[in-house]
A and B are shown apart, each in its own frame.
Chain A
Amino acid sequence: MYGNDLSPLLSQEVLDLLGGVMGGERRGLAKAISYVENSPAHSRPLIAHLYHHQALGKALVVGITGPPGGGKSTLTSFLVKHLRATGATVGVILVDPSSPFTGGAFLGDRVRMAHSNSDPGVFIRSMGTRGHLGGLSLATQDTVLLMDAYGVDFVFIETVGIGQSETDIVRTADITIVITVPGLGDEIQVNKAGIMEIGDIFVVNKADLDGAERVVTEINVMLDMAPRLGNAPNLRPPVLRTVANRDRGVAELWATLQERLQQFAEIGELALRRERRLWQSVLGSVQFQIEQQLSPVLAQQRSGILSRIAEGSSSPFEEAKHILQIIERK
C-alpha cells in the first residue's frame, strides 16, 4: 500500500542494484550488500522493494555460532561441500569483529572457504561488526534478504566468535547450530543462560580431543532438563560429534540439519520463527525511524536540557516528555 510512496525515492543507482540482485548478478549482489552496510538509512527503499517483489522467504537461513577458534569456519566450509553435492546453492555470511579503536577489521574466515571461492553456486561475504554487539553486524539481516532475493537455496551465517550471551543469531536464522569444543569449562558453564539455550543442534567439534565425551554428556544432561519447544515436545536438540578439519561427522550434521528443518516446517515452527522475525523487523524499523526523527531534535535541545536538569528545574523524565511533545507538534 505504500508502493507509490516509495517509487519516487528509487534513484537510478538503486534501480540498478535492485535489477542486479533480482537478476542473479554476482557483482550486483556484492554492490547491494555494500550499499546496505554503508548507508543503512538511504538503503531502506531498496530493501522495501524486495518485500514488494515478494522475492523473499525462499532461502533457508542457518546460523552457526560458537567460541573463537571452535571450528565454525571449517565446519561451515565442509557443510557447504555436502550441500553443494546435492546441487543446492548457498550464500555464506562470515562475521568477524571490527576494532572499537580504529574501525578496522581482519576478516579471516574466508581462508577456510578457499575451495568454494570460484564455485558459481556459492557466494561468500565477510563482514565486520562495525560496532554492533550481539554477534552479528547491523547489516547482516539485510544481507540475508538480499541473498534470498538473489536466489540462493540456503543462507549460512557464521557469527563472530562468541562468549556467553551473543544471541542475536536466533532472531535472524531459521535454525541455529551451536558449536563447542572440549576444554572450555565444566558443567556449570553448560547450565548458564544465554547461548546454551539457543541451539537447535549442538555440535562438539574437535571430538578427537580429550574431554570431548564429557562435554557431550554435560550438554545432554543440560538438554534433558531443558523445557521443549511448545509445539514440538519431542524435538529435543541433538548433540553431534565432529572433527571438522577431517570432515568427520559433517555428513551426519548436514543430514540432521535437513531433517530438522523439514520437521520445523511440518510442525509450523519455521513459520512461527519467520513471523517472529518479521515482527522484529517491523519493531526495528519503527525504532530506527523514530531515532532518525529524534536525533536532530535532541542535538538541538541538548545544552538546554542539561542546564535545566543541573539547575534542579527539570529531570530526565520530564525532558523526555517535552521531547515527545516537540516531535508530536512537527
Chain B
Amino acid sequence: MSHPIRVLIAKPGLDGHDRGAKVIARALRDAGMEVIYTGLRQTPEQIVEAAIQEDVACIGLSCLSGAHGHLFPQVVQLLKEKNAADILVVGGGVIPDDDIPALKASGISEIFTPGTSTAVAVEYIRNNVRK
C-alpha cells in the first residue's frame, strides 16, 4: 500500500534563518509528503533522536551559519551509531561548492544550494529514500 514519505526538516546550529527550511518543508508537503518540522537551534543529538522517534525516511538539514562542515557529518555519524544509517540525509543552505565533496564523502547524499528549484529536491528525495 502506498503511504506518504516522512521527512524531518531540521536546523542544526545557531543561525536563525529558517526561511529556506520552511520553503522546502512546504514544497515537500505539497508533494504529498509528511514533513516533521523541528524548528531552530537543534543539536545533532536532538535531530537524530527526533528522526528515530518519527521513523522518517529522510532528514533534510538546513544551515546558513557556515557550520555545515561540522554539524552535518555529526548527524550522519550519530545515525550510524544508532543503527539508523538507512535514513537518507540531504542538506541545504549557503554552502560553498568547495565544501560539497567533503560533505558527500561524510555521508550526506546530496547538497542543495541557493537557487535550486524545490522540484529538484522533491524528486531527489522521492527517488532516493528507502523503499
Chain A interface residues (CB < 8 Å from chain B): 26-27, 30-31, 33-34, 37-39, 98-99, 102-108, 110-111, 114, 117-118, 123-126, 128, 130
Please name all residues of chain A whose beta carbon is closer than 8 Å to the beta carbon of B32 when the two chains form the complex: 99, 102-104
**A111 and B38: CB pair below 8 A?**
yes
**B53 and A123: CB pair below 8 A?**
yes
Chain B interface residues (CB < 8 Å from chain A): 1, 3-4, 6, 25-26, 28-39, 41-43, 45-47, 49-50, 52-55, 82-84
**B53 and A124: CB pair below 8 A?**
yes
With A105-B35, A124-B50, A128-B34 as known contacts, state yes or no: A27 contacts B83, CB within 8 Å. yes
**A110 and B37: CB pair below 8 A?**
yes
- 9 residue pairs of the A-B complex, CB under 8 angstroms, read A27-B83, A30-B55, A99-B29, A102-B29, A103-B32, A107-B34, A108-B37, A110-B37, A114-B46
Please name all residues of chain A whose beta carbon is closer than 8 Å to the beta carbon of B34 when the two chains form the complex: 98, 104-105, 107, 126, 128
The dominant DSSP class at the B interface is mixed
Q: Which of B34, B42, B43 has the most CB of A within 10 A?
A: B34
Q: Which of A37, A99, A118 has the most CB of B within 10 A?
A: A118
**B39 and A104: CB pair below 8 A?**
no
Partner pick for B3 among A37, A99, A107, CB 8 A cutoff: A37
C-alpha gap A181/B24 in the complex (Å): 32
C-alpha gap A33/B6 in the complex (Å): 13
With A104-B33, A105-B35 as known contacts, state yes or no: A118 contacts B53, CB within 8 Å. no
The dominant DSSP class at the A interface is mixed
Q: Number of residue pairs across A and B with beta carbons under 8 Å?
A: 89
**B31 and A118: CB pair below 8 A?**
no
**B45 and A104: CB pair below 8 A?**
no
C-alpha gap A8/B117 in the complex (Å): 49
**A111 and B37: CB pair below 8 A?**
yes
**A30 and B3: CB pair below 8 A?**
no
Taking the closest CB of chain A, its distance from the CB of B84, in whole angstroms, is 7
Please name all residues of chain A whose beta carbon is closer than 8 Å to the beta carbon of B36 when the two chains form the complex: 107, 110, 126
**A33 and B55: CB pair below 8 A?**
yes
Taking the closest CB of chain A, its distance from the CB of B31, in whole angstroms, is 6
**A104 and B53: CB pair below 8 A?**
no
Please name all residues of chain B whose beta carbon is closer than 8 Å to the beta carbon of A38 when the two chains form the complex: 1, 3
**B38 and A117: CB pair below 8 A?**
yes
Closest CB pairs A-B (n = 9): A111-B39, A117-B46, A30-B55, A104-B29, A38-B3, A102-B32, A34-B55, A104-B32, A107-B36
With A105-B35, A106-B26, A107-B36 as known contacts, state yes or no: A26 contacts B55, CB within 8 Å. no
Taking the closest CB of chain B, its distance from the CB of A27, in whole angstroms, is 5
Please name all residues of chain B whose beta carbon is closer than 8 Å to the beta carbon of A105 when the two chains form the complex: 4, 29, 34-35
Taking the closest CB of chain B, its distance from the CB of A84, in whole angstroms, is 15
